[in-house]
Amino acid sequence: MIRRGGQRVAVAVVATIAWRLLAFSPMAHAFIPKADRTLREVAKVNQSSGRNKAIQLELTMRIAEREPVARGQLITHPSGLARLELRGFNGRVDRYLLSGSELAGAKDGLRIDRPQPLLQPLFLLQLSTSSTLRTALETFDVLSDSIGLAPCGEQDCFVIGDPRLAAPLPEPGAFELEDESALPGAFELEDESALPDPLGLEGDEFARSARDLGTIGGEPVGLRQQGALEGPDLAIPEDALLSRLWVDTENLQVRRIDRANGVFTLLGPVVSFERLMIPAWFEVHEPDNEPIRFEVDRAVQVNAPPQAFSRKWLLAPVGDWWSEPADDPAAAVQHMGAP
């Protein structure tokens, strides 16, 4: 009995010290992949999901949980161009045009000065190289070299762009033991290559490694408690709004896009539309307003020339549903492999 009790005590001590070493030592950083590695894998997922071409989404729009109020058509191009046309069930037609970070809008063919931010940069889901993804993120003021962890619904997400969520640097003397003789050689490794290294994995292995190693004791590394964000960069106020990209640690799909003005977009689970993998819905949340939810009814790849995203389209007279003026180059949009 004494021997078994001693073994249990020794195991408990080893487990406690192991947690302390992982939580406070530089090894904790290995449990969060580097930002450039994550961007590379996200770009691969974007490509394998069939979104690296121009895509057209047919949408149903509702405010919060109420009945639908409009139908919509969104065309988004990986170059950073996007357009959205909404026809309300009251007959009004709204159009939005996004070029990089610049948003323009019109109602019934007349330009509006302050368009509602309904068209968000979904083309971040279409970029198929890490360099183009990084450039696009930096266009929206995302700190693309910073990565951390935070809960997103029932899952965990890598958060790109928020140094406050990064794994904390070790404090001086953080893992000094009062009695080092209590653990003689407990953490001596004959081969340092035995340490877990998720950064050397590809594809599904990368996602599995991120899922398994992304938390310690069930809590995200670097996120100590709700509302108390701490990390190596203390120059950013705790309540500051940052542009951020949230990526699911399991499948590396984008789950949320934050803007520095407080607007954020939530993206639902990915579903299949023939060869396209598209979020089943997305919600735009604007401060002091009810969320706007768009349900994706159909998705196809299209040929969309740059002229399809022109000011001429934005301010064109309102005609039949989805109709284009005969002389509008936007009429050149063609479906590719539509079901």
Residue 236 is predicted with a pLDDT of 86
> One-letter amino acid identity for 237?
P
DSSP 119-169: ---GGGGT--SHHHHHHHHHHTT--TT-EEEEEETTEEEEEET-GGGSPPP
Instruction: Give the closest residue to 268 by CA, choosing from 158, 128, 152.
Output: 152
**pTM (two decimals):** 0.71
Q: What are phi and psi of 40, to 5 degrees?
A: -65, -45
| Regions of the chain where pLDDT drops below 50 | 1-30, 174-203, 206-233, 321-330, 338-339
Q: Which amino acid is at 14?
A: V
pLDDT for the residue 19: 35
Torsion of CA 146, 151, 153, 154, to 10 degrees: 130
| 118 closest CA partner among 259, 327, 320 | 259
**CA distances for 180 relative to 13, 189, 191, angstroms:** 12, 17, 22
Count other Cβ atoms within 10 Å, centred on residue 216: 17
Q: What pLDDT does residue 96 have?
A: 98
What pLDDT was estimated at residue 225? Answer: 33
Tokens matching residue 107 = 């109602």
How far is C-alpha 155 from the geometric centre of its chain's CA atoms? 13
Angle at 71 between CA 261 and CA 56, to 5 degrees: 75
Pairwise CA distance, residues 68 & 294, whole Å: 9
Exposure of 301 in the CB half-sphere (CA atoms within 13 A): 15
pLDDT of residue 172: 53
H/E element, 45: helix 35-48
d(CA 181, CA 288): 59
Query: Angle at Cα 163 formed by Cα 40 and Cα 174, nearest 5°?
Result: 110
Whole-number pLDDT of residue 198:
34
